């Protein structure tokens, strides 16, 4: 036990020294970067088609005989060569059409041939919280895609969100609308949940797919406000609130609420619900909105019957089904963390590892004690 105590003291001292060094480095780095403009985030692009191809190739190499695998490679090479030839041909036709400024119908025909050959699929992930904070990255990702995408390209957004603030999710839905406004195809995939504000985003899509047990719907509005008036009154605490405007405040957490205030607050909820239903109706006119706008949620298979979604399929299956026909790219906007934040994480990791070592030594001393 004396050895364990000495080892623990040594480890604690070592961790303290490491933390002190990191803090000094962080302070110096922050001082040097204080007057410098911090670089913005950047777009990261992953070629998912290549990843799918590598996985498939690795599997086939293991399960096929050498002769079968060589034959497969030969056929693949032949197919790739033919596709490359077709792409070049389509590009030449488009260039020729633009150079000669041919009739509008002929240009559209050539452009459609080009689009058919060059369709790409861009994949985005939206993991929503109550404040829809991921919208900050989403807007950058969509801007990047619109700047480079062409007519006929598609964007698949994997939405995962139980909903949240109305204005935040309204803005997120507006970001998705930009994709359609740019003439691109928008598909939303729901693998687990797209409820309330999450469904507000999903309904913008040209097509919604969902897993069989994904949670969809919850088209409603809810507000919960605690009231501490009686508690304050019991403890002889006065609370004053002054406003200009009859309805600047309706319900409050600290003052005594009136029936008039409750009525106005409920009216505001109904108005918000009405706007929510109107938005869905505009984006999915075939959906019987009043039938599903009850605040209830449904699983994927039920949502399909009700018309809330268009197909039962996971995002993984959808991407695999498209992998042979088009190039697929994963797009994400990444913001580099400041040095101080990275050092803070390193310090936390060091402390956790140190505690784990001490705990392990303590357990071992008990296990091997005579």
Q: Is 174 one of the catalytic residues?
A: no
Residue that has been written with the tokens 């041939």 in this structure: 113
Residues listed for the chain: 370
* CB half-sphere exposure, 311, CA atoms < 13 A: 13
Spatial distance between the Cα atoms of 327 and 323, rounded to a whole number of angstroms: 7
Spatial distance between the Cα atoms of 198 and 185, rounded to a whole number of angstroms: 19
Q: Is 119 one of the catalytic residues?
A: no
Question: Residues 6 or more apart from 31 whose CB is under 8 A from it?
Answer: none
Residue that has been written with the tokens 């080009």 in this structure: 114
Q: Which of 196, 332, 337, 346 is catalytic?
A: 196
Helix (H, G, I), strand (E, B) or coil at 143: helix
Q: Give the dihedral of Cα atoms 125, 129, 135, 141; nearest 10 deg.
A: -20
DSSP code per residue over 214-226: -EEE---------
Q: Which of 34, 37, 236, 248 is catalytic?
A: 248
Spatial distance between the Cα atoms of 187 and 321, rounded to a whole number of angstroms: 14
Annotated catalytic residues are 196, 248
């Amino acid at each position: 036990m004396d050895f364990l105590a000495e080892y623990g003291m040594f480890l604690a001292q070592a961790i303290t020294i490491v933390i002190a060094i990191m803090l000094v480095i962080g302070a110096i780095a922050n001082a040097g970067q204080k007057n410098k403009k911090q670089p913005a985030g950047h777009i990261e692009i992953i070629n998912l088609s290549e990843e799918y191809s590598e996985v498939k190739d690795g599997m086939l190499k293991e399960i096929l005989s050498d002769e079968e695998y060589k034959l497969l490679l030969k056929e693949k090479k032949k197919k790739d060569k033919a596709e490359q030839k077709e792409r070049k041909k389509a590009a030449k036709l488009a260039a020729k059409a633009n150079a000669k400024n041919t009739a509008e119908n002929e240009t559209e025909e050539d452009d459609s041939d080009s689009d058919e050959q060059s369709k790409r699929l861009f994949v985005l992930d939206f993991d929503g919280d109550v404040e829809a904070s991921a919208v900050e990255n989403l807007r950058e990702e969509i801007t990047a895609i619109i700047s480079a995408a062409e007519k006929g390209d598609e964007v698949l957004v994997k939405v995962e969100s139980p909903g949240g603030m109305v204005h935040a999710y309204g803005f997120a839905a507006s970001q998705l609308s930009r994709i359609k406004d740019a003439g691109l195809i928008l598909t939303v995939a729901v693998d687990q949940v797209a409820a309330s504000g999450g469904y507000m985003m999903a309904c913008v899509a040209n097509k919604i797919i969902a897993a069989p047990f994904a949670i969809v719907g919850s088209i409603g509005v809810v507000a919960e406000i605690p009231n501490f008036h009686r508690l304050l009154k019991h403890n002889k605490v006065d609370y004053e609130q002054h406003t200009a405007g009859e309805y600047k405040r309706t319900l409050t957490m600290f003052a005594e609420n009136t029936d008039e205030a409750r009525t106005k607050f409920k009216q505001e909820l109904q108005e918000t619900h009405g706007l929510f239903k109107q938005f869905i109706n505009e984006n999915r006119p075939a959906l019987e909105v009043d039938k599903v706008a009850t605040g209830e949620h449904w699983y994927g298979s039920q949502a399909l019957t009700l018309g809330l979604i268009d197909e039962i399929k996971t995002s993984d299956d959808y991407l695999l089904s498209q992998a042979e026909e088009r190039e697929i790219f994963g797009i994400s906007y990444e913001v580099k963390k400041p040095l101080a934040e990275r050092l803070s994480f390193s310090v936390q990791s060091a402390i956790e590892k140190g505690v784990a070592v001490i705990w392990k030594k303590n357990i071992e001393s008990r296990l091997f004690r005579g």
